[in-house]
C-alpha cells in the first residue's frame, strides 16, 4: 500500500493500478462525494474481490438501480420485466415473479461498494458526510447485452412505467471496437423508449458521470424522451453545470442546502423543457425527484403531468431509503435520526419566497409555484454499515395491477402516518 505521505488525492477516469484506486478513493472520500469507477485491470479487481470475501462479515447482496428498483416494485405489488444478464447463482436471488430477460452469463458482474460514515477517518482524511465509492470490472452492462431480448419482450408487456438506469457503466468505459458501440446502444434504448405508448411514464435514473462527452450524449438522447428524472444532489449539480456552463463537475458540495437544491431543480426543469420541445417525438418533462441523505425533494407539473400525491411520494421515498439501508420493513425511530434542519428557505436566489418551518402536523411541506408542486421530506438514517454489494444494472419496466390499487392506497396512507409519528417522536 502506498504510504499516506506519498499519496496525492486525485480523480482518475478509470482504475488500472492499485495506487490509482488509493488516489481516487482518497479524493472522493475527503470530499464526501459518491463515485463509481470502472477497473480496467481484471487481475487487480479479482484480487480485491478475493480480499473482500475474506473480510469478516462480507456478504453478497443484489444491488444496482435496476435490480433494486425491480425488487422494490415487486414488493409493492407490480408485475416487473427486468432486462439483465445474470449468472444462475445471481438469478436465484431474484423473486420468481420478476421476469428476467437477457440471457445467462458465466461470470458474476461484481461491484465492490466501499461505504463510510460522516466523520470517519482514513489516514489523514476525514469524510464530511456519509457516502460510497464503487468499483467494478463489469464487461456486460456497458454493452447492455440484454437490450435485444428486452425489446422483444417489451412489445407484449405493455408497461405503465418504463425505467432506464445503469447508463453510468458506459461512462469512461474503453470499448475495444469503437465508441460507435456506445452511440448505437443509446440509440437502441431511445428506440425502446419510443416503442411504449405515450401514456407510459418513462423515468430515467441518473448516476455518477465524469465523462463530459458521454453526459452530453445522454442529455441529447435519453433526457428528451423522459417524463421523470431521478438523481442525488451530486448528480443534480453535475447536470445543472452541464446545462448552465457546458461542463461537468467531478465533485460538488457534499451537504447542499435545501434552497440551493431547489434552485438547481427549477433551473434544469425549465431548461430541459425548453430544449426538448425542438426534438421530434420528445416527451414533456413533468417530474424531478432528488434524493439526498438529508431530504427528499419532489417537483411535479400538475398541469401537464398526472403525478398524484407528491407529498406521499416524498415521504415514502424517505422511509423506503431507511428500510433499504436497514434491510428491514420496520422503521425504528429509536435507531434513526432526522438529518434536516427544522426550517429551510425555498430559494437562495429569491429571498422573498420565504422560509418553510417543519411542523408535526405537516411533516412533508408542499407548496405551489405556478404549475409546479414542490414537496420536501426530511431524510431519516441509521448509522451506515460497511458492506460489499453485488450489483447488476440495466433497464426495467413495471405494470401496475388494478386489483392492487386499494392496497397501495392503504400502504401510501400508512407511510404518511408513520412519517408523521416518526417526526413527532423525534422532534417534539
Helix or strand or coil: residue 29?
Answer: helix
pLDDT at 65: 81
What mean pLDDT do residues 57-78 have? 85
Quick: pLDDT tens for 83-111: 988 888 888 889 999 999 988 888 888 88
Can you tell me which residue has the cell 401537464? Answer: 304
In whole numbers, what is the pLDDT of the chain averaged over residues? Answer: 84
For residue 7, is pLDDT > 50? yes
pLDDT at 261: 96
Which has the higher per-residue pLDDT, 375 or 13? 375
pLDDT at 88: 87
What mean pLDDT do residues 402-419 have? 37
Instruction: Determine the straight-line distance between the first and last CA of the chain, rounded to whole angstroms.
Output: 49
Exposed, middle or buried by CB within 10 Å (0-12, 13-18, 19+), for 296?
Answer: buried
For residue 416, is pLDDT > 70? no
∠ CA(415), CA(229), CA(216), 5° rounding?
Answer: 160
Q: How confident is the model at residue 2 (pLDDT cuts 50, 70, 90)?
A: low
Q: What is the CB-side half-sphere exposure of residue 228 using CA atoms within 13 A? A: 22
Q: Which of 212, 210, 147 is nearest to 395 (CA)?
A: 147
For residue 371, is pLDDT > 80? yes
What mean pLDDT do residues 372-390 have? 66
What mean pLDDT do residues 268-291 have? 96
pLDDT at 189: 94
Q: How confident is the model at residue 142 (pLDDT cuts 50, 70, 90)?
A: confident
Give percent above pLDDT 90 in the chain: 50
pLDDT at 382: 65
Which has the higher per-residue pLDDT, 427 or 210? 210
Which has the higher per-residue pLDDT, 397 or 339? 339
Q: Which of 282, 212, 189, 180 is nearest to 11 (CA)?
A: 212
What mean pLDDT do residues 319-326 have? 81
For residue 129, is pLDDT > 70? yes
Quick: pLDDT tens for 166-222: 898 888 888 877 768 899 999 999 999 999 999 999 999 998 888 999 999 999 999
pLDDT at 29: 94
217 phi, psi to nearest 5 deg:
-65, -40
What mean pLDDT do residues 140-162 have? 89
**Separation of alpha carbons 387 and 364, rounded Å:** 31
What mean pLDDT do residues 224-242 have? 95
Helix, strand, coil percentages for the chain (3-state, nearest 5): 40, 20, 40
**Separation of alpha carbons 365 and 344, rounded Å:** 11
Quick: pLDDT tens for 324-348: 777 777 777 777 777 788 899 999 9
Q: How confident is the model at residue 408 (pLDDT cuts 50, 70, 90)?
A: very low
What mean pLDDT do residues 306-329 have? 86
Domain ranges of the chain: 10-427
Ordered DSSP codes for 137-198? --SSGGGTTTHHHHHHHHHHH--SEEEE--GGGGTT---SS-THHHHHHHHHHHHHHHHS-T
What mean pLDDT do residues 22-29 have? 94
Helix or strand or coil: residue 136?
Answer: strand
**Separation of alpha carbons 71 and 67, rounded Å:** 6
What mean pLDDT do residues 306-310 have? 91
370 phi, psi to nearest 5 deg:
65, -125
Least confident of 48-52, 65-69, 300-304, 418-422: 418-422
Quick: pLDDT tens for 257-267: 999 999 999 99
Set of cell numbers at residue 379: 431524510
Which has the higher per-residue pLDDT, 32 or 62? 32
Q: How confident is the model at residue 252 (pLDDT cuts 50, 70, 90)?
A: confident
pLDDT at 195: 93
For residue 394, is pLDDT > 80? no
Amino acid at each position: 500500500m502506498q504510504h499516506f505521505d506519498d499519496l496525492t488525492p486525485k480523480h482518475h477516469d478509470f482504475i488500472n493500478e492499485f495506487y490509482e484506486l488509493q488516489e481516487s478513493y482518497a479524493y472522493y472520500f475527503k470530499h464526501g462525494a459518491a463515485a463509481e469507477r470502472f477497473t480496467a485491470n481484471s487481475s487487480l479487481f479479482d484480487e480485491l474481490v478475493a480480499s473482500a470475501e475474506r473480510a469478516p462479515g462480507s456478504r453478497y447482496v443484489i444491488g444496482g438501480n435496476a435490480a433494486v428498483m425491480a425488487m422494490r416494485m415487486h414488493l409493492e405489488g407490480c408485475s416487473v420485466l427486468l432486462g439483465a444478464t445474470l449468472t444462475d447463482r445471481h438469478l436465484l436471488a431474484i423473486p420468481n415473479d420478476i421476469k428476467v430477460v437477457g440471457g445467462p452469463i458465466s461470470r458474476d458482474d461484481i461491484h465492490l461498494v466501499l461505504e463510510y460514515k460522516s466523520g470517519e477517518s482514513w489516514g489523514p482524511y476525514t469524510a464530511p458526510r456519509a457516502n460510497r465509492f464503487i468499483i467494478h470490472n463489469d464487461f456486460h452492462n456497458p454493452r447492455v447485452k440484454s437490450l435485444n431480448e428486452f425489446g422483444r419482450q417489451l412489445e407484449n408487456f405493455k408497461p405503465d412505467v418504463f425505467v432506464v438506469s445503469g447508463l453510468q457503466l458506459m461512462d469512461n468505459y474503453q470499448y475495444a471496437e469503437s465508441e460507435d458501440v456506445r452511440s448505437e446502444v443509446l440509440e437502441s434504448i431511445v428506440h425502446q423508449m419510443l416503442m411504449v405508448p405515450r401514456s407510459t411514464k418513462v423515468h430515467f435514473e441518473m448516476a455518477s458521470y465524469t465523462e463530459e462527452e458521454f453526459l452530453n450524449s445522454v442529455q441529447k438522447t435519453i433526457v428528451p424522451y423522459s417524463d421523470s428524472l431521478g438523481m442525488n444532489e451530486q448528480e443534480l449539480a453535475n447536470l445543472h453545470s452541464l446545462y448552465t456552463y457546458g461542463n461537468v463537475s467531478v465533485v460538488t458540495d457534499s451537504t447542499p442546502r435545501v434552497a440551493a437544491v431547489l434552485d438547481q431543480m427549477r433551473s434544469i426543469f425549465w431548461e430541459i423543457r425548453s430544449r426538448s420541445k425542438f426534438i421530434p417525438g420528445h416527451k414533456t418533462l413533468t417530474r424531478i425527484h432528488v434524493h439526498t441523505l438529508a431530504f427528499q425533494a419532489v417537483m411535479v407539473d400538475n398541469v401537464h403531468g398526472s403525478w398524484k400525491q407528491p407529498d406521499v411520494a416524498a415521504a415514502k421515498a424517505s422511509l423506503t431509503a431507511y428500510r433499504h439501508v436497514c434491510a428491514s420493513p420496520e422503521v425504528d425511530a429509536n435507531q434513526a435520526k432526522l438529518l434536516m434542519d427544522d426550517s429551510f428557505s425555498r430559494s437562495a436566489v429569491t429571498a422573498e419566497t420565504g422560509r418553510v418551518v417543519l411542523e408535526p402536523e405537516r411533516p412533508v411541506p408542499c407548496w405551489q409555484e405556478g404549475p409546479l408542486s414542490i414537496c420536501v421530506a426530511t431524510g431519516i438514517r441509521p448509522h451506515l454499515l460497511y458492506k460489499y454489494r453485488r450489483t447488476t444494472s440495466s433497464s426495467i419496466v413495471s405494470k401496475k395491477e388494478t386489483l392492487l390499487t386499494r392496497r397501495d392506497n392503504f400502504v401510501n396512507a400508512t407511510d404518511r402516518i408513520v412519517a408523521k409519528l416518526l417526526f413527532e417522536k423525534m422532534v417534539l
